[in-house]
């Protein structure tokens, strides 16, 4: 079937989810809500569908995708799950934790998904629409964030329509995303677990579950272990300035907690990090307007979800070479 040229946004009714599942199974791209951000979904077992994801996002083929499943048992068919991984799944799934595990020799997942690595990243999202869609598709669904490569991630269906509306067969609307930042990516392929990307499950919770703090950077070598760790990422059009106390002339001020009267928007007036994470990408988009010369952001405590927020803000503020802009 040929997808419509401009993807309509559909409320995520049972009928729309069934139709979206059918489109996925036929090889089309479908955007859908998760608790973290909206995903750009494709049949993870189809080379053609996976290649279409990279093309739609303008994402370089060395940046691997996360595969989404509806049940932990489905993950066991894709990757080698040991006792440590199983314990983390039991504790954090469904939820904002992606586990990077060795690829099974008989894994049905397209080799393009993992960009030549011998591992696959898997996640079980904590969103009923996402799980119903994966079940309707009848296969694991590869899904990066549903934005053009390098840009701010989408937390509403309207955000997806703005950047990828003409590239997807359907956008399922499940309302704004509850968590608002991407999943934590944890590499379990080595003796010591390593966080490749801070995200919706705080490092403190993982340390507690593992009985030791995970490593917080890659394992060396020239290539980034997780290309999401490249310097510039999540970038709005305007320059971003961090740790601001007040706006410079022409700047918008994105505040946190008690704020000066000239704050333009506030991530969380009460200083709540979960509220701030949920607002982060929508507020960066809202302030990315020509009447401002830049976006100044107040400092955010570097604990709990604050680590994921600061990671995204640092990348949004990083110098933008064309190479790093293309890699996210």
How many alpha carbons fall within 13 Å on the CB side of residue 57?
Answer: 33
Site string for ligand AMP, 207-236 (x = CB under 6 A): ------------------xxxx--------
Which of 24, 29, 100, 132 is in the footprint of ligand AMP by CB under 6 A?
100
Strands (E), 47-206: 66-68, 97-102, 119-123, 141-142, 170-173, 184-187, 194-197
Contact partners, residue 284, CB within 8 Å, separation at least 6 = 152, 234, 236, 240, 254, 295, 316
Among candidates 174, 172, 146, 141, which has minimal Cα distance to 71?
141
Does the footprint of Mg ion cover residue 279 (CB under 5 A)?
no
Q: Compute the distance between CA of residue 171 and CA of residue 7 in angstroms, rounded to an integer.
A: 6
Q: How far apart are CA 192 and CA 188, in angstroms?
A: 7
Contact 152, 233 (CB under 8 A): no
Q: Which residues between 139 and 198 bind Mg ion (CB under 5 A)?
A: 145
Which CB atom, from 240 or from 327, has the smaller least distance to ligand AMP? 327
Binding mask 171-210 for ligand AMP (x = CB under 6 A): -----------x--x----------xx-------------
Closest separation in Å from C-beta 301 to Mg ion? 24
φ/ψ of residue 108, rounded to 5: -80, -5
- Please identify, using beta-carbon distances, which residue of 119 and 266 lies nearer to ligand AMP: 119
Structure tokens at 279: 């607002």
Per-residue burial over 130-141, b = 16 or more CB atoms within 10 Å of its CB, e = otherwise: bbbbbebbebbb
33 binds, among ligand AMP, Mg ion, none (CB under 5 to 8 A by kind): none
196: partner contacted, choices Mg ion, ligand AMP, none (Cβ within 5-8 A by kind): ligand AMP
Considering only residues 125 to 164 of the shown chain, the ones binding ligand AMP according to CB under 6 A are 144-145
Q: Which does 100 bind (CB under 5 to 8 A by kind): ligand AMP, Mg ion, none?
A: ligand AMP
Give the separation between CA 243 and CA 298, rounded to whole angstroms. 5
Is the Cβ of residue 93 or residue 281 nearer to Mg ion in the bound state? 281
Write down the least CB distance from residue 131 to Mg ion, Å.
Answer: 20
- Pick between residue 114 and residue 264 the one whose CB is nearest to ligand AMP: 114
- How far apart CA 148 and CA 317 sit, in angstroms, is 18
Does residue 66 interact with ligand AMP by CB under 6 A? yes
Tokens of 122: 């898997």
Which of 112/259 has CB closer to ligand AMP? 112
Regarding 64 and contact with ligand AMP (CB under 6 A), the answer is yes
Question: Which residues are near Mg ion by CB under 5 A?
Answer: 145
Question: Which residues are near ligand AMP by CB under 6 A?
Answer: 63-66, 100, 114, 117, 119-121, 144-145, 182, 185, 196-197, 225-228
């Amino acid at each position: 079937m040929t997808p419509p040229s401009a993807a309509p946004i559909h409320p995520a009714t049972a009928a729309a989810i069934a139709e979206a599942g059918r489109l996925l199974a036929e090889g089309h791209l479908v955007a859908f809500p998760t608790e973290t951000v909206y995903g750009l979904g494709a049949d993870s077992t189809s080379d053609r569908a996976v290649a279409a994801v990279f093309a739609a996002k303008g994402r370089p083929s060395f940046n691997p995708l996360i595969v989404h499943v509806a049940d932990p048992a489905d993950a066991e068919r894709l990757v080698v799950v040991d006792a440590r991984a199983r314990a983390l799944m039991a504790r954090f799934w469904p939820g904002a934790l992606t586990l990077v595990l060795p690829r099974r020799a008989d894994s049905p997942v397209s080799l393009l998904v993992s960009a030549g690595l011998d591992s696959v990243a898997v996640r079980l999202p904590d969103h009923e629409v996402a799980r119903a869609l994966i079940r309707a598709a009848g296969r694991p669904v590869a899904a990066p964030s549903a934005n053009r490569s390098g840009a701010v991630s989408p937390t509403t269906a309207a955000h997806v329509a703005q950047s990828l509306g003409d590239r997807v067969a359907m956008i399922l609307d499940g309302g704004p995303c509850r968590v608002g930042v991407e999943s934590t990516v944890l590499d379990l392929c080595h003796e010591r677990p390593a966080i490749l990307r801070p995200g919706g499950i705080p490092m403190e919770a993982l340390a507690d579950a593992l009985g030791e703090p995970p490593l917080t950077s890659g394992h060396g070598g020239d290539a980034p272990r997780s290309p999401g760790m490249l310097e510039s990422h999540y970038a709005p059009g305007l320059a971003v300035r961090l740790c601001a106390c007040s706006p410079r002339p022409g700047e918008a001020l994105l505040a946190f907690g008690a704020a000066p009267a000239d704050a333009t928007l506030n991530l969380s007036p009460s200083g709540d990090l979960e509220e701030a994470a949920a607002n982060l990408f929508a507020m960066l988009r809202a302030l990315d307007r020509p009447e401002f010369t830049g976006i100044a952001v107040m400092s955010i405590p570097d604990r709990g979800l604050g680590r994921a927020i600061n990671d995204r803000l640092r990348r949004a503020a990083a110098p933008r070479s064309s190479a790093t802009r293309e890699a996210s």
